[in-house]
Chains A and B, each alone.
Chain A
Amino acid sequence: MSISLEHLYKSYGREPVLEDFSDVVPDGSLTALLGPSGSGKSTLLKMIAGLESVDQGRVILHGRDVTALPARHRNIGFCFQDYAPFYQLSVFENVAYGLKTRKMPAAHITKEVTELLELVHLGAFASRYPRQLSGGQRQRMALARALAIKPDVLLLDEPFAALDAQVGAELRAWVRSLQHELGITTLLVTHNQAEAMEVADRVVIMNHGRIEQVGVPSEVYDHPANDFVRSFLGPTTTFAGASVRPHNLEVTRSGEGVSAVVRDVIRLGFEVRVVAAPADGEALWLQLTHDEAQQLNLQVGENVTIRRRN
């Protein structure tokens, strides 16, 4: 189900949070709202869910204007960053909550909840309580709870931010494959560009309550619309007066380019960072692969030539 957001405005007091925000989230896509904290992305997500009022503009779900519709009638699955587990209820009761609210027959609820718990690999945890679960398990429980109502749209607020790096990485891959499997239109909010690039098939980059750029991850990464997007999506360095990606530079011992002195070589595994100072400019850095660095065998203090890769 597609989501149309038309000229949305929101402010807290005199502080504008969203200014003239418009976007169409295509049916079945996994879109990431990416931006620094305070860019208005979480507020936007709550406005779509009906958990935050809209000052101006319209929220349209599959052609239907829901701007004034209370959250409970929108049939939208919403997951908070802290997963908001119902601590007083068991895992089973958590997932069953939306179905009980819809007054489904008990046998149907049991069947649905059992299937969902299997789907999120929590089948053995049905009678546990949220405090007995790890962060990753709580997140999967929250997902199952949101999916139980067969939502038209799934909204995830910073779904991986509270997890440690390894669990977060596993869950990202899992959420992505689950979303592909279910085909449910999903919008997730994140401040982590790597996360957005990895999970989403569409990225909306926000800053100060406005859209900076929208597109496929590789497209916005390779063709950033402005310096904000470029520096937000990945590392940059200044070469010949322009902002460039450090892996778009190469270093040689001969040929054309800017001559510089190697100041430092930092080996990070696959990536090797080289810090170099051109004779007439400020220091810059560039990224080489492990093999490239091995072949060049750069020494600190030696003179090299730096140029853009073709």
Chain B
Amino acid sequence: MGRSPRWLRTLVILYVGLLVGVPLVFVFQRAFAHGAGALWTALQDPSMGNAIGLTIRVVLVALPVNTIVGVGAALWIVRHPSWLTRIIDRVIDVPLAISPIIIGLMLELAYAQNGWLGRPLAALGLQIIFSYPGIVLACIFVSLPLVTRQLIPLLREIGSNQEQTAASLGAGPVRIFLTITMRSILWATAYGVSLTLARILGEYGAVLIVSGNITDLTQTLTLNIGANFENYNAYQGFVGAGVLALTSVIILLLLGVARHRERKRHEHLA
């Protein structure tokens, strides 16, 4: 492959740099602005600690759920197409098309204690809105298509001949998935999972509505950052933003390494 023209490379570097690079640097610069001691104190802020804890607990449920559902949905849509999967294939993108704040409102209307789904659940003693389950639900909703969208084109490209061959050799569905399908989609799944993780960590609008944003109870890290800025505690906000941004950068770097390794392996084998 030849190199792209110099002006195009310059344009892309400027675009990405000005839009992503420079602002990111400023967040870290602000977090370090008052020295290491102040940063250490700010990092120990109990409300931020609670917010990080809640965010981790949300990730621990929402991420595996969306990974399993995402892989399953992609396999179903590609391998067993029907009128139903064609509808699901369209509907699955809805969370990407609708503003998160509207998703939050939709969930609140449905799952509030007087809502259509919330009322029977409340009768069972389950509170969804303004509590942990609602936040998990919102995060699952907004990141629903990310794994599936990564896998659908890949599964189509791979085709089902390998899986069918494995079946003719005596393998059952579970063994076929573990030995054939999963090995082919591993890195694409990892990529989708990383996107899902980044999306969950960064979710603000939908979580804002369904959580009630109660400090120390239903405040995720993004909400905590927002609250600090609103309460004229900008420095604490920048520290929280720095933590979140650093996490995302680490995720992206790990992903970059993984993708690079996979590509290398393919080049080596080709």
Q: Which A positions have Cβ atoms within 8 angstroms of B? A: 46, 49-51, 70-80, 82, 84-89, 97-98, 101-102, 129, 131-132, 142, 145-146, 148-149
Instruction: Evaluate contact between B183 and A71: CB separation under 8 angstroms.
Output: no
4 other A-B residue contacts (CB within 8 Å) besides A71-B164, A88-B180: A70-B167, A80-B161, A85-B162, A101-B170
Instruction: Evaluate contact between B269 and A132: CB separation under 8 angstroms.
Output: yes
Q: Which residues of A contact B164 (CB under 8 A)?
A: 46, 49, 51, 71, 78, 80, 84
The answer to whether A131 and B270 touch (CB under 8 A), given A84-B162, A87-B184, is yes
B169 at interface by CB-CB < 8 Å: yes
Q: Nearest CB to that of A77 among chain B residues? A: B168
Find residues 123-175 in chain B having any chain A CB closer than 8 Å to their own CB: 159, 161-162, 164-172, 175
Q: Which 7 A-B pairs have the closest CB atoms?
A: A98-B169, A84-B161, A88-B183, A131-B269, A78-B168, A101-B170, A71-B167
Give the contact-size bracket for chain B: 20 to 34
Shortest A133–chain B CB gap in Å is 10
Q: Which residues of A contact B167 (CB under 8 A)?
A: 50-51, 70-72
Shortest A244–chain B CB gap in Å is 42
Q: How far is the CA of A71 from the CA of B164 in the complex (A)?
A: 8
Instruction: Evaluate contact between A72 and B162: CB separation under 8 angstroms.
Output: no
Instruction: Evaluate contact between B269 and A98: CB separation under 8 angstroms.
Output: no
Q: How far is the CA of A49 from the CA of B166 in the complex (A)?
A: 12
Q: Which of B169, B172, B179 contacts A149 (CB 8 A)?
A: B169
Q: Nearest CB to that of B169 among chain A residues? A: A98
Instruction: Evaluate contact between B168 and A72: CB separation under 8 angstroms.
Output: yes
Shortest B155–chain A CB gap in Å is 14
Q: Nearest CB to that of A142 among chain B residues? A: B165
Shortest B169–chain A CB gap in Å is 4
Instruction: Evaluate contact between A51 and B270: CB separation under 8 angstroms.
Output: no
Instruction: Evaluate contact between A86 and B170: CB separation under 8 angstroms.
Output: no
Q: Which residues of B contact A46 (CB under 8 A)?
A: 164
Q: How far is the CA of A167 from the CA of B92 in the complex (A)?
A: 47
Interface centre among B170, B180, B269 (most CB of A within 10 A): B170
Q: Which residues of A contact B172 (CB under 8 A)?
A: 72
Q: Nearest CB to that of B164 among chain A residues? A: A51
Q: Nearest CB to that of B184 among chain A residues? A: A88
Q: Which residues of A contact B179 (CB under 8 A)?
A: 86, 89, 97
Q: How far is the CA of A101 from the CA of B179 in the complex (A)?
A: 10
Q: Which of A72, A76, A142, A145 contacts B171 (CB 8 A)?
A: A72
Instruction: Evaluate contact between A145 and B169: CB separation under 8 angstroms.
Output: yes
Shortest A45–chain B CB gap in Å is 11
Instruction: Evaluate contact between B180 and A51: CB separation under 8 angstroms.
Output: no
Q: Which residues of A contact B169 (CB under 8 A)?
A: 72, 97-98, 101, 145-146, 148-149
Q: How far is the CA of A77 from the CA of B165 in the complex (A)?
A: 8
The answer to whether A72 and B170 touch (CB under 8 A), given A51-B164, A80-B164, A86-B162, is yes
17 contacts between A and B (CB under 8 A): A49-B168, A51-B167, A70-B167, A72-B168, A78-B165, A78-B168, A79-B165, A80-B161, A85-B162, A86-B179, A88-B180, A101-B166, A131-B266, A131-B269, A145-B165, A145-B169, A148-B169
Q: Which of B170, B183, B270 contacts A98 (CB 8 A)?
A: B170
Q: Which residues of A contact B165 (CB under 8 A)?
A: 78-80, 84, 86, 142, 145
Shortest B217–chain A CB gap in Å is 46
Q: Scan B176-193; emit 1 where CB is below 8 A from any A CB, else 0.
A: 000110011000000000
Q: Which of B171, B183, B266, B270 contacts A101 (CB 8 A)?
A: B171
Q: Which residues of B contact A89 (CB under 8 A)?
A: 179, 183
Q: Which residues of B contact A78 (CB under 8 A)?
A: 164-165, 168
Q: How far is the CA of A301 from the CA of B180 in the complex (A)?
A: 66
Interface centre among A50, A76, A97, A102 (most CB of B within 10 A): A97
Q: Which residues of B contact A50 (CB under 8 A)?
A: 167-168
Shortest A108–chain B CB gap in Å is 15
Shortest A59–chain B CB gap in Å is 14
Q: Which residues of A contact B159 (CB under 8 A)?
A: 82
Q: How far is the CA of A19 from the CA of B161 in the complex (A)?
A: 25
Interface centre among A49, A80, A132, A149 (most CB of B within 10 A): A80
